[in-house]
């Protein structure tokens, strides 16, 4: 099984890198896990809606270039479906059972994901209505993927 995160922007904070690396190392016994970073689009603090759409579109093109046709894509989107950890684990298990061995998660930049990325997604996942920094979301998502594998293996880790 292959799990890939396609993310916008570089991770700068060492504490996020350390946490993600720890969970990635733990995940290696369950799957091939990798993170693919695409450059974020430089933009001033205040943007018009057209400028925001342009930034998201350019980032979206970069994201889509990293996704193959056979990959099952889960986009992280605030308007997506909220799952418990157990439901998330079952979703991953069901995907592998039904022949989806390549699962790709997408985390957008600070403005979110372009409509064309959401259109390509097979599923939209929300971690709640909070807005979280996309760097923190990488760590939270990586931990939840690990937790899902631990739940599916019957481990008491997730309690």
Annotated binding site for S-adenosyl-L-methionine: 76, 108
In whole angstroms, give the CA distance from residue 100 to residue 131. Answer: 29
Burial class (CB in 10 A: 0-12, 13-18, 19+), 99: exposed
Q: Half-sphere exposure of 129 toward its Cβ, with a 13 Å CA cutoff?
A: 0
State the binding site. Answer: 76, 108
Q: How far is CA 3 from the centre of its chain?
A: 10
Alpha helices in 10-155 (DSSP H): 14-27, 49-64, 85-97, 115-120, 134-152
């Amino acid at each position: 099984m292959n799990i890939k995160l396609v993310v916008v922007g570089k991770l700068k904070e060492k504490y996020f890198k350390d946490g993600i690396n720890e969970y990635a190392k733990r995940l290696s016994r369950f799957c091939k896990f990798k993170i693919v970073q695409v450059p974020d689009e430089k933009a001033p603090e205040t943007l018009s809606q057209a400028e925001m759409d342009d930034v998201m579109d350019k980032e979206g093109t970069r994201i889509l270039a990293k996704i193959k046709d056979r990959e099952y894509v889960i986009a992280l989107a605030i308007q997506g479906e909220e799952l418990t950890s157990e439901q998330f684990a079952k979703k991953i298990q069901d995907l592998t059972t039904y022949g989806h061995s390549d699962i790709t998660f997408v985390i957008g930049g600070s403005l979110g994901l372009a409509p064309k990325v959401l259109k390509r997604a097979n599923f939209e996942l929300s971690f709640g209505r909070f807005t979280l920094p996309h760097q923190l979301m990488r760590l939270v998502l990586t931990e939840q993927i690990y937790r899902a594998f631990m739940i599916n293996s019957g481990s008491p880790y997730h309690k």
